[in-house]
Amino acid sequence: MNITKNIHEWLFSLMPETTASIVEMVLIAVVYLAIFAVAGLYLVLLERRVAAWFQLRLGPNRVGYQGLLQTMADALKLVSKELTGTLKADKFLYNLAPYFVIVTALMAMSLFPFTKELHAFDINIGIFFLIAISSIGVIGILLGGWSSNNKFALIGAMRSGVQTISYELSVGLSLLTMVLMTGSLQLSQIVEVQEKGGWLIVQGHIPALIAFCIYMIAGTAETNRAPFDLVEAESELGAGFHTEYSGMKFAYFFLAEFINMFIIASIATTVFFGAYLSPFGITESIPLLGVFWFLGKTLLLIFLMMWFRWTFPRLRIDQLLVLEWKYLLPLNLMNLLLMALMVLLGLTIQF
């Protein structure tokens, strides 16, 4: 990481320490923002191509090589569009809502360890912070749906509230199950444990696998994607909570959905699949390849979520709640107990 080190030294030689660190923080933030805006756009393209693959069609392949510029063009179109809104909307909240969603999505991105060095923000309550941040995003959806002054949007927003409150529990508990093995909420610590003893999903075998399944189900529900896309449910509510949004404000919601998907997959990669660690340590000598492994695993999990979306029908709202409160939550609690016993008795697999 010579480049970053050089920039760091150059900045600190140029100005006083406080100013330099602030400038450095802003620089990092801007880089992250740019990367994830682009990542969001390309996830949209990936989704469209994957959907096309499932649906016997080609998907966007005309703008640029294999459609690589398609979503860029779409984003440009959305930026240049007129922002329309309802007359009787609560203007302040209506305008605030998209930022809530996008900012929280981007904040969560800063935590992930892409390699050992490429890790912007490593706090000791990492997992807790991620869960907290991702649940703030739903406030944006609630605000947007409520302030639009549209009944369809309101129904969508209320569904979203119910859904997120319920599935938050499963996400939290399934991650907690894994934290039992690491003994730390800090992401770098979690990876360190996996570096020594193998990926957590192997270490924890049965309970870890159950936790992973629950996490993927709950994570899909957290991001409001099919089969849990009741918030938007186009055949029921038109467009759900973002019915009244247009142009770039709509695009914020849209991009946030994809970045959230990336976050959910990244958390799973970090906690279950050893983040930037390569399988059997084949490329540990080249640290930069960690980025490749991290993104590769994340994209595989994202593909899994896309697979869900293009195969399953949507659940009904009461079935959604029954699934969480009657099945996933009790299973999760038992799983937590099982994992605790396993850790206590030393039944985990260690390499």
Partner 1 sequence: MDTTPIINNFKSEEYQINMGPQHPATHGVLRLLLTIDGEIIKKVEPDLGYIHRSIEKMCERDSYQQIVHLTDRMDYLSSHINNEAVCLTVENALELEIPERVKVIRTIIAELTRIASHTLWWGVMGMDVGALTTYFYGFRDREMINDIFEETCGARLTMNYNIPGGLMFDIHPNFVKRTKEFIAHFKTKLPEYDLLLSNNIIFRKRMEGIGILTKEDAISFGASGPVGRASGYSCDVRKHHSYSAYDKVKFNEVLKTEGDTYSRYQVRVLEMWESLSIIEQLIDNIPEGDFFAKTNAVIKLPEGEFYQKVETARGELGVYIVSTGTKNPYRMKFRSPGFSNLSLLNHIAVGGKIGDLVATMATLDLVIPDIDR
Considering the complex, what minimum distance in angstroms separates the CB of residue 90 from partner 1? 18
* Residue 151 binding partner 1, by CB under 8 A: yes
* Residue 312 binding partner 1, by CB under 8 A: yes
DSSP 234-277: HHHHTTGGGTT--HHHHHHHHHHHHHHHHHHHHHHHHHHS-TTP
Query: Scanning residues 52 to 81, which ones bind partner 1 (CB under 8 A)?
Result: 54-57
Tell which one of 7, 234, 325, 327 touches partner 1 (CB under 8 A).
234
For residues 254 to 293, the per-residue mask of contacts with partner 1, x marking binding by CB under 8 A and - elsewhere, is ----------------------------------------
Considering the complex, what minimum distance in angstroms separates the CB of residue 318 from partner 1? 7
Count of alpha carbons within 13 angstroms of residue 273, beta-carbon side: 21
Considering the complex, what minimum distance in angstroms separates the CB of residue 137 from partner 1? 22
| Sign of the torsion angle spanned by Cα atoms 300, 302, 304, 310 | negative
d(CA 321, CA 140): 21
106 contact partners, CB below 8 Å, separation of at least 6:
32, 33, 36, 259
Considering the complex, what minimum distance in angstroms separates the CB of residue 2 from partner 1? 48
Q: Is 170 exposed, middle or buried (CB count within 10 Å of its CB: 0-12, 13-18, 19+)?
A: buried
- Evaluate whether 194 touches 283 at the Cβ level (below 8 Å): no
Considering the complex, what minimum distance in angstroms separates the CB of residue 152 from partner 1? 7
* Residue 326 binding partner 1, by CB under 8 A: no
Considering the complex, what minimum distance in angstroms separates the CB of residue 230 from partner 1? 8
Residues 215-246 as b/e (b if ≥16 CB within 10 A, e otherwise) read: bbbbbbbbbbbbbbbbbbbeeebebbbbbbbe
Tell which one of 77, 91, 316, 326 touches partner 1 (CB under 8 A).
316
Tell which one of 296, 310, 340, 347 touches partner 1 (CB under 8 A).
310
d(CA 75, CA 94): 21
Q: What is the SS3 assignment for 65? A: helix
* Residue 216 binding partner 1, by CB under 8 A: no
Considering the complex, what minimum distance in angstroms separates the CB of residue 105 from partner 1? 24
- The residue range among 100-108, 127-135, 233-241, 250-258 that interacts with partner 1, by the rule CB under 8 A, is 233-241
For residues 79 to 118, the per-residue mask of contacts with partner 1, x marking binding by CB under 8 A and - elsewhere, is ----------------------------------------
CB atoms closer than 10 angstroms to residue 78:
17
Using CB under 8 A as the criterion, which residues of the chain lie in contact with partner 1 when the complex forms? 51, 54-57, 151-152, 155, 226-227, 229-230, 233-238, 310-319
